[in-house]
Amino acid sequence: MCVLIILFCWELNVLTMQKKVRVLANTLGKIGVSLFCLLALPGIGFCQSVVDYNGLLKVSFNKIVNQHNEVVSFAGNSFFWSNDNWGGEKYYNASVVSWLKRDWRATIVRAALGVEDTGGYINNPESNKAKLKAIVDAAIAEGIYVIIDWHSHHAEDYTAQATAFFKEMAEQYGEYNNVIYEVYNEPLQVSWSNIIKPYAETIISSIRDIDPDNLIIVGSPEWSQRVDLVAADPITGYDNIAYSLHFYTVWHQQWLRDRATEALNKGIPLFVTEWGSIGYTGTDPETDKWMDWCLKNDISHCNWAVNDKDEEWSIIRPGSSTTGGWSSVFLTEAGKLAKDIIKNWPTIGFSSGK
């Protein structure tokens, strides 16, 4: 039996892996054999990806848990805006996702679909959607998690477009445990209860009509930092909802950690879908404090951004390869710091072999 399983794993085509695994699991189930137990045996576990092990992510009070009800947190990268001709879109390809998974040990990536700005989804939906799907498909093939991010500062002005988009995403990807929906990146200084929450409930409803259980993340006012307002009036009509927290260490320090801790204590699950270090300094003590806080509270996080733009938070230097393969000389100081954090993040179920 073990020899047969090894041969099967060796021949898997990555684009159809999950379907083949489901077929194998069903076959093994008929003869009373657990696929998980077989893959966990010495010499066979390399077949198992982080998503194979952790499965569908679920909210449990203020934590994210896996299919075994173990508290989990993941570390990875956020891609830059997908907008046409903004520069970062050239990294929206499967090779970069594979490199981040294998070299950085990233267990999650985030595709930031630009919406209302020039060159974004509203101007050119098919181009931006194709770029996003390239990341989602690659993440599924690599067996890591992926956030489909409606990367907007004014999402409530595009509710109809967001509804149609997330319906399409749920129809295409709702069956995959890899997928997480982020329905509003960074609201500005607008009301949580009167604007953001009603918008989010509309989009959540459209997703839940198709996909009943994948994790959904919602932003909060003031660039996803007013999690205290969310804690005072959370979304209660739907299950498996978490809330994003964004920080950039040059601006957001202990006061925001205190606010976020208070929100956690009130039962709000948080997910850092975007963060950036001060950059180009070699060290960043404030990043260390944030990572200690994330580790202590089991918070997943995605570093901004996979891009070579000449700014503090890009992880690679201008002109770096668009397919990965970056040695340390191509990494910015912010990139070196992020890589060290992501590569050493303690993630349950990670196997570099898949």
The domain spanning residue 114 has which CATH number? 3.20.20.80
Answer yes or no: do 31 and 162 share one domain.
no
Would you say residue 351 lies in a domain? Answer: no
Q: Which of 142, 182, 274, 286 is catalytic?
A: 274
CA angle 128-75-54, nearest 5°?
95
Element housing 60 (H / E): strand 58-60
List residues bridging with 145 in a β-sheet: 108
pLDDT in tens, the chain (354 residues): 443 444 434 333 433 344 343 434 333 332 233 343 333 333 334 469 999 999 999 999 999 999 999 999 999 999 999 999 999 999 999 999 999 999 999 999 999 999 999 999 999 999 999 999 999 999 999 999 999 999 999 999 999 999 999 999 999 999 999 999 999 999 999 999 999 999 999 999 999 999 999 999 999 999 999 999 999 999 999 999 999 999 999 899 999 999 999 999 999 999 999 999 976 566 788 999 999 999 999 999 999 999 999 998 999 999 999 999 999 999 999 999 999 999 999 998 875 444
Answer yes or no: do 157 and 257 share one domain.
yes
Would you say residue 349 lies in a domain? Answer: no
Would you say residue 354 lies in a domain? Answer: no
CA angle 101-165-56, nearest 5°?
45
| Residue-range definition of the domain harbouring residue 334 | 56-343
Give this prediction's pTM.
Answer: 0.87
Number of domains in the chain: 2
Answer yes or no: do 223 and 92 share one domain.
yes
Q: Which of 142, 156, 182, 186 is catalytic?
A: 186
Active site residue 262: no
Active site residue 222: no
Answer yes or no: do 132 and 207 share one domain.
yes
Answer yes or no: do 31 and 109 share one domain.
no
Reduce the DSSP state of residue 276 to 3 states and report it: strand
Answer yes or no: do 8 and 156 share one domain.
no
Per the CB < 8 A criterion, the answer to whether 156 and 113 are in contact is: no
With b meaning 16 or more CB within 10 Å and e meaning fewer, what string describes 48-82? bbbbbbbebbbbeebbbbbbeeeebbbbbbbbbbb
Answer yes or no: do 137 and 221 share one domain.
yes
Would you say residue 352 lies in a domain? Answer: no
Determine the distance from the C-alpha atom of residue 301 to the mean position of all C-alpha atoms in its chain, rounded to a whole number. 8
Answer yes or no: do 124 and 166 share one domain.
yes
Residue of 286, 329, 279 whose CA lies nearest to 304: 279
